A = this chain, B = another copy of it.
């Protein structure tokens, strides 16, 4: 029709190839939302598990996502460098991912909050960031986990102070103001000491609170078979060579032994490990390989 020309005003934008695509989703106004729905403070297990459930759903739908990292009201997803979903079209990736996450969050609400009705529909914002190198990407994840750590340390101490404030003349509001005041200018060490006074050892707090949740994509059967074949080929080739580099070889073989996945359901695992500046984390999960 004579109106079709308006279609040409669409301005496509393809994300630079061979870079890691990170999609970060964050709850809009979740200070209010969590309050309105009686979330426990500072960490609500139901809320965390619902976030993880939504993230898992997204990773099942978009198999080029290799890592998911969630904490508080946010989740980051890392697509591998070679990802070609929607030909790397920015608007398609951004919109369908945030829509899917939102959708899964609400759809699964009642499973995790059986006794708490959804008062109003929650929404999320999202953004895409590109990282050209694995170092930048690892720093990104370290950044988010360090943020989790700092916030959780603060919040845990904060609510401890509030709940242990037995001053009956004070309202909850006043107790919170007091706690903020008490924590002003304190360092990490100070907070640990405060907790110690109340008999709390922060290091015994649950990993899921202190470190957030990491979803790691596993190799699938096809990929494992391919790798096995490659490995076999490589080995027989190497055996022809002298045995001088024996040790080194063994080492590689060990590292590369991939997790065994029995069924499709286990295509993504959840861990609560420390990844801040931890090369070792990426090696253990074979992420350097998976993120290619």
Q: Which residues of A contact B (CB under 8 A)?
A: 1, 3-11, 14, 16-19, 25, 28, 57, 91-92, 94-96, 98-104, 106-107, 118, 120-133, 136, 139-140, 142-143, 146
Contacts and interface: CB of A to CB of B under 8 A. Distances in A.
Contacts of A121: 57, 100, 103-104, 106-107
A133 B18 contact: yes
Nearest to A150: B1
Contacts of A136: 6, 9, 18
Contacts of A3: 139-140, 142-143, 146
Given A16-B11, A102-B102, A6 B131 contact: yes
A1 B141 CA distance: 13
A129 to B, nearest CB: 5
Contacts of A124: 95-96, 99
A19 B132 contact: yes
Given A3-B139, A18-B132, A28 B96 contact: yes
B91 A6 contact: no
Protomer copies: 4
Nearest to A101: B99
Given A3-B142, A16-B16, A142-B3, A131 B99 contact: no
Given A95-B98, A96-B28, A6 B125 contact: no
Contacts of A106: 103, 106-107, 121
Contacts of A28: 96, 99
Contact of A6 (B4, B11, B95, B139): B139
Given A3-B143, A102-B103, A95 B125 contact: yes
Contacts of A104: 121
